[in-house]
Every structure is written in structure tokens, then in C-alpha cells.
Amino acid sequence: MHAVSTSWPGPLGARSLARPDFGQVAEASLDGVYRYLLYLTRDASLAEDLTGETFERALRSWRRYDPRRGEPIGWLCRIARSAALDRFRADERRRARERRYVADAGDVSQAPFIEGLSPELERALAGLSASDREVIVLRVVLELEAAETARLLGISSTACTTRLNRALQRLEERMESNALA
């Protein structure tokens, strides 16, 4: 008779009673979780964001992982699925708020975004989505910390920083394309 290893990853079907090291599990599972989220979302950027959020959530709740109930990859995929569904629901709520705002506000294209901005910057900002403008206002104009902005938006700090970086990238692209026009 041979002994069953108590460290993860073990032989297929073997259940270890000892909780594996989170770092080892994360390293071994990162690609699998990302591929799962890529399949689920069909969006590489979103899959990257959600992978980070998954491992952030997993680290916070690692003490609740029970190796007798299944392999770490299954546990991580459940967290990933939950994170993806949370994001889908949040995005749908945001889109509904944006539609309501546009319907209620009427034509806001003439209203200044922020007093004192150049017309070029004003046009570039107006061309961004409401969520891009929101994260820029909270982090850049109001100078809120990433953690506070993340709480306000209902996302992780990592996702907030990523969203801000992408919004600023799109703003820069719009500024460059407006300069060329």
C-alpha cells in the first residue's frame, strides 16, 4: 500500500486533509482560472480583471477553504464565476442608470464637464462612456483614494485602478485623434 500525499497538487482523486499553501495553489491555478474566465466573458481584459479579483477574494477567504470538499481549482472557479456574475449584474445596473440619466437629463452636450477645461479636453471627455467619466472624476478631479472610489463603485481597488488606467488611456487616444482632426 502506498501513502497518499498531503500536499496539493496530489494524485487525481486524492483528497488531502491539510490545507495547501495559498501561493502554490495560486501559481498552479492562475492560468486555469484565467482561461475559465476568458471562456465565460469572451473578453481578455475583463478576464484579466476578474482573475485578479478572484485571487484577491480567494486570499481573503482562504481560511474557509476545506480541502476535503474538493480541489482548490474547483473552489477558485466558483469564486471566479461569482465574481463574473457580480460584474455582469453591476454592469447591467450601471447601463440602466446611464440610460435613465440620459433620458432625464436631455441634451447635456452643451453643459461643461468641469469649469476651466480646454475645449479639446471637454470634447474628449464628452466622448467617453459615463463609467469612464465617473472614475476620472472620482480619482482625478475629486482626488478620492483608490479604496474609497472602489467602495463607491462596488468594485475591488485593483479593478478601480485598472478602470482608471483604461479610462485615461481612452481619454488620451481621444485627445490625440481630436488633435489630428
Answer yes or no: is pLDDT of 58 > 60: yes
**pLDDT confidence tier of residue 16, bands split at 50, 70 and 90:** low
Q: Taking all residues of the chain, what is their mean pLDDT, rounded to a whole number? A: 81
Lowest average pLDDT, out of 15-29, 94-108, 142-156, goes to 94-108
**pLDDT confidence tier of residue 40, bands split at 50, 70 and 90:** confident
Who wins on pLDDT, 55 or 102? Answer: 55
Record the pTM: 0.52
Answer yes or no: is pLDDT of 109 > 60: no
Lowest average pLDDT, out of 92-96, 100-104, 107-111, 132-136, goes to 107-111
pLDDT digits (tens, 9 = 90+) for 45-54: 999 999 999 9
Three-class secondary structure assignment of the chain = CCCCCCCCCCCCCCCCCCCCCHHHHHHHHHHHHHHHHHHHHCCHHHHHHHHHHHHHHHHHCHHHCCHHHCCHHHHHHHHHHHHHHHHHHHHHHHHHHHHHHHHHHCCCCCCCCCCCCCHHHHHHHHCCCHHHHHHHHHHHHCCCCHHHHHHHHCCCHHHHHHHHHHHHHHHHHHHHHHHHC
pLDDT at residue number 49: 93
**pLDDT confidence tier of residue 176, bands split at 50, 70 and 90:** confident
Average pLDDT over residues 37-50: 90
If you search the block for the grid coordinates 463603485, which residue do you land on? Answer: 153
pLDDT at residue number 51: 96
Average pLDDT over residues 142-150: 86
Average pLDDT over residues 124-146: 84
Return the percentage of the chain with pLDDT > 90, whole number.
33
